[in-house]
Amino acid sequence: MSVIEFELVRVVEAPIEQVFDRLADIDGYGEWMPSRGSLLRRTRLTSPGPVGPGTTYFDETSAGDVPGDVTEYVRPTAIVFHWWDATSKGKLKSEGWPGYRLEAISQRSTRVRHHARMRVYGLSRLATPIYRWMARRERTVVIEALQASFDRPAPGQDETPAM
């Protein structure tokens, strides 16, 4: 088994509750994730009810489709996801835990610590350097898209202020 682990930190100009809610809105990822530069094509919930610990989802990516679940949910300060990629016989090839720790630095600013951990198993370990590069690239795209999503008007909002 090989382990890949790193952390990225960004400041998002939005209240902590809004940042958390955007991260927890699994079905809403398509609204702020970039259509280019990311492996993610679509994410959808696969369990009923509000998002919380145990919520399941499915990621469609350019590298293959993977299931996942929410392993930690502490509104508005922490959310951790767990995804896994397995062979057709159920043997794990890789799994990851992308998580976010949020800290309010003012009423309108949030420090986001995006910690990513990934395990690579079996023969897939030979590709660990490629997995490491892909993981860092993907996680950077995600956190920068999150940051940028608060720099533009929400869908349906006009960019020009009312007079």
CB burial class (10 A; 0-12, 13-18, 19+) of residue 62? Answer: exposed
β-bridge pairing 92-106 and 64-74: unpaired
Give the pLDDT score at 156: 53
pLDDT-above-70 percentage for the chain: 92
Evaluate whether residue 29 is within a structural domain.
no
Give the pLDDT score at 131: 85
CA 43 to CA 102: how far, in whole Å? 22
Evaluate whether residue 108 is within a structural domain.
yes
Q: Which domain holds residue 120?
A: 2-24+70-149
**What's the chain's average pLDDT?**
89
Give the pLDDT score at 104: 98
Residue type, 29: Y
Evaluate whether residue 110 is within a structural domain.
yes
Lowest mean pLDDT among 8-12, 67-71, 120-124: 120-124
pLDDT digits (tens, 9 = 90+) for 98-155: 999 999 999 999 999 999 999 999 988 888 888 889 889 989 999 999 999 998 665 5
Q: Report, as an integer, the average pLDDT of 82-107.
A: 94
Q: In this structure, what CATH number is given to the domain that contains residue 91?
A: 3.30.530.20
